[in-house]
Amino acid sequence: MGKSTWAPVRVLPDTGCLSQDRGRNNEKGRILMKRTGTGLLLSRRSHVPPAGLLAWRALGVVSVLFVAVLVTWGRATPSDAGACRHSARHYEGGAAGKGRDPLLEQQWGLRRINATAAWEKGATGKGAVIAILDSGIDLGHPDLRARLVPGIDLTSDSDCPGPQDESGHGTLVAGVAAATADNGIGIAGVAPQARLMPVRVLTELEGGSPDEIRNTNRTFAKGIKWAADHGADVINISSTLMVATDYPLEDDGLQDALAYAWDKGTVVVAAAGNNLLPICDYPANDAHVLCVGATDALGLPAVYSNQPTNSNSRIGLRAPGGRLGTTCEDSVDIWTTSLPGYCGGINGYTTTQGTSFASPHVAGVAALLAAKGVTNDEIVACLVETALNPLTGLRGQFDPIYGYGEVDALAAVETCA
């Protein structure tokens, strides 16, 4: 199959994550809203408490406002690595070994997309690389460190140089995509033998004025190109940068970077957004990006999720993202890796929800195919063709609510790998 010529783009913004650290010793979050000439611009990673989300929905303003609660994940003693707060020594016990992952039975998302069945067919992602463009990854996490390849820090955080995650979001995302399986601890990722490339493009808070947004977009553009140049088969972006109708910003380089990655053979997957909009936020709305909305454990559209409608390519899917549970052990949400801290007596794991965590489910499935030598245009076509609409039972048929359907790892592997 030859290279696709997806049309150039015009776009929309997202809040990839509704997650909250509900069972650990956190610093208090802050609600941040800044209105500018181009609309309401916020943190790239929105963490919205369920009560807050329902209140905005009741007021009928969710489609024009989105709220970001900045959460610092799992306060820990400063490590020896400069001023970085998190390191491997904060994980007491729980050393990786062999055996069934204790939280695997609670990972309903893996079952919904038939990931474990795909592993039984020999599709584990071995040899593929997933770049996580985010706040970094916890380099010492026992369920992630064996998966890491060299990454890069493109932020200006001189207190903690390198791609070490200091806010927690990237670590949550990375675990969903490719946490190690069968090591006797924690969870398993969708592609448990894929490699993870930490590309740190965010720190604690991004957003504000148009100039600040433009600078952040430029950082993402650099990260996208760097990942594509350094062997990423899949790039996951669980962040949203602008409302699509406000994009593009002049000279931020983001569209060119996404087209560059596609031309290099990389699949880019991004969160649709948590604003209840009928369209994907940006960059998920770019013509070279696969947009992912969220479903709950029943396969129904998550109450917070944007619809996975990419107005440029029409390429959109859904995947498990959780349902807004109320505790850190709530089974309706997504279990994943976290910075050090306890949830139900388990150090370094928590539940979370948002399109931020739907996206790496799809990125993981893309890595299963990439590891088998499937090209980027073939991967996108395959994911679309094999996606299942759980309400109609149809595969690969577009509708504005489900996009082309919920991603199906087993069907994709059996059809295309």
Catalytic residue among 14, 21, 101, 134: 134
Residue 247 — very low, low, confident or very high, per pLDDT cuts 50/70/90?
A: low
> What's the burial of 52, exposed, middle or buried (CB within 10 Å: 0-12/13-18/19+)?
middle
How many residues in the chain? Answer: 417
Total structural domains in the chain? 1
Arithmetic mean of pLDDT, 34-53? 34
Catalytic residue among 46, 239, 356, 359: 356
Reply yes or no on whether the pLDDT at 33 is more than 50.
Answer: no
345 CB-near residues (< 8 Å, 6+ apart): none
Whether 13 maps to a domain, the answer reads no
Question: What is the per-residue pLDDT across 107-163, written as a single tens digit (0 to 9) for each?
Answer: 999 999 999 999 999 999 999 999 999 999 999 999 999 999 999 999 977 678 899
Whether 203 maps to a domain, the answer reads yes
Contact assessment for residue 286 and residue 398, using Cβ atoms and an 8 Å cutoff: no
Q: What is the pLDDT of residue 160?
A: 81
Distances (CA, A) of 10 to 197, 205, 212, 307, 404: 28, 25, 20, 17, 21
**Catalytic status, residue 356:** yes
Cα of 160 vs its chain's centroid, Å: 23
Arithmetic mean of pLDDT, 168-179? 97
Read off the DSSP letter of residue 336: E
Arithmetic mean of pLDDT, 326-351? 87
Whether 17 maps to a domain, the answer reads no
Q: What is the pLDDT of residue 342?
A: 77
Q: What is the pLDDT of residue 2?
A: 36
Could you write out the DSSP letters of every residue in 195-261?
EEEEEE---S----SHHHHHHHHHHHHHHHHHHHHTT-SEEEE----B-GGGBPPTT--HHHHHHHH
Q: What is the pLDDT of residue 19?
A: 39
Catalytic residue among 86, 90, 169, 361: 169
Q: Where are the alpha helices (DSSP H) in 39-152?
A: 50-59, 108-112, 115-120
* CATH code of the domain containing 230: 3.40.50.200
Whether 285 maps to a domain, the answer reads yes
**Catalytic status, residue 134:** yes
pLDDT-wise least confident of 96-105, 230-239, 346-355, 381-390: 96-105
Reply yes or no on whether the pLDDT at 32 is more than 50.
Answer: no
Whether 82 maps to a domain, the answer reads no
Q: What is the pLDDT of residue 34?
A: 25
C-alpha 314/C-alpha 8 separation (Å) is 12
What kind and span of H or E run contains 317?
Answer: strand 316-320
Arithmetic mean of pLDDT, 177-197? 97
Q: What are phi and psi of 291, to 5 degrees?
A: -85, 135
Whether 11 maps to a domain, the answer reads no
Contact assessment for residue 239 and residue 133, using Cβ atoms and an 8 Å cutoff: yes
The pLDDT mean for the chain works out to 80
Residue 55 — very low, low, confident or very high, per pLDDT cuts 50/70/90?
A: very low
C-alpha 97/C-alpha 409 separation (Å) is 27
Arithmetic mean of pLDDT, 323-350? 87
Arithmetic mean of pLDDT, 169-198? 97
Reply yes or no on whether the pLDDT at 412 is more than 80.
Answer: yes
**Catalytic status, residue 169:** yes
Q: What is the pLDDT of residue 1?
A: 38
Between 342 and 260, the more confident residue is 260
Could you write out the DSSP letters of every residue in 275-295?
S--SS--BTTTSTTSEEEEEE
Question: What is the per-residue pLDDT across 231-245, written as a single tens digit (0 to 9) for each?
Answer: 999 999 999 887 555
Residue 150's domain comprises 30-73+90-416
Read off the DSSP letter of residue 399: B
Whether 12 maps to a domain, the answer reads no
Whether 256 maps to a domain, the answer reads yes
